[in-house]
Amino acid sequence: LDGISFTARRGEMICVMGPSGCGKSTLLRTLAGQLKPRIGEIIMNGFPLYGSLTQLTPYIAYIPQEDAFDPLLKVQENLDFSVAVRVPHLPVEERRKRVDAKLSELGLNEMRHRLAGTPQQKFLSGGERKRLNAGLDMIGIADVYLFDEPTSGLSSKDSEHVLEIVRSLARNKIVFASIHQPSMKLIQMFDKALLLDKGGKMAYFGSPQGMIEYFWEAYCEETGQADAPP
C-alpha cells in the first residue's frame, strides 16, 4: 500500500476495487489490526488502532473469503457457537433470540437444521454459504465490518442478495467490501468506491457516480471527446 489516505464514517458502505495484486486484501487486513503499517496510522474514533489493539479490535470484524464455519455443524449450530464466543456475557435466552433474528436476516431460517457441509457436498448453495460465513461475524458487537471478496464465485443474483444483506449492516456501522470484478449494478449499491491501482496506490475515493464521471472526463481529455458519460 502506497500513500493511501481516506475517511470512513458511520453508515457508509465502501467498495474496495482494483486488479489482482493491487492490495485489496492487504488493506482490509491492515484495517483489521492484522498487518501493522511501517509508515502511517489508522485512527479509529480518535485513537490509533495499533496503539490500542486490545481495546479496539473487539469492535472490528474481518470476514475472509474462505469459509470460517464448521462443515460438520448445522447452520444454526455454527451461529450458536459464534454468538457464544463473541458475546459470552449475554444470557442464553438472549443468545437464542439473536441467533433466530440473524437466521431470518440472512435468509437461512429454513436451512437452520441443515449441515453446513463443504462446497462439494452441496448441502448449501454458494450464496447460502457466503451468507452463513458473513453471519458468523455479523452476530457480534462489531462497528466495523471488513468483507474480503464476499461475492467471489457467485452469480449476479446471489451477489446482489449477499450485498443487500451486507447493506443492511451499514445503517449505523462502517462496512468495507472488496470486489474483484464488480458490475455497475453492484458498484451502485455502495456509498463510496475506493479504487486501488498496481503498486497499492489509490486511484480514486468518492461516490460511485463521481468515479464514473472522473474517469470519463480523463478519457475525454486523452481522446479529445466531449460527450457526456454514458
The Cα–Cα gap between 13 and 104 comes to 22
The Cα–Cα gap between 229 and 185 comes to 16
Q: Is the pLDDT of residue 220 over 90?
A: no
Q: Is the pLDDT of residue 230 over 60?
A: no
Q: Is the pLDDT of residue 145 over 80?
A: yes
User: Residue 228: its pLDDT value, please?
Assistant: 57
The Cα–Cα gap between 67 and 62 comes to 12
- Ranges of beta strands (E only) in the chain are 13-17, 43-44, 47-48, 60-63, 144-148, 174-178, 192-197, 201-206
Q: Is the pLDDT of residue 170 over 80?
A: no
Q: Is 54 exposed, middle or buried (0-12, 13-18, 19+ CB in 10 A)?
A: exposed
Q: Specify the length of the chain in residues.
A: 230
Most confident of 51-55, 85-89, 224-228: 51-55
User: Residue 226: its pLDDT value, please?
Assistant: 62
The Cα–Cα gap between 69 and 229 comes to 44
Torsion of CA 85, 50, 142, 166, to 10 degrees: -120
User: Residue 156: its pLDDT value, please?
Assistant: 85
Mean pLDDT, the chain, rounded, equals 90
pLDDT bucket at 162, cuts 50 / 70 / 90: confident
- Cell digits of residue 7: 475517511
User: Residue 40: its pLDDT value, please?
Assistant: 93
CB 200 within 8 A of CB 4: yes
- Cell digits of residue 49: 488502532
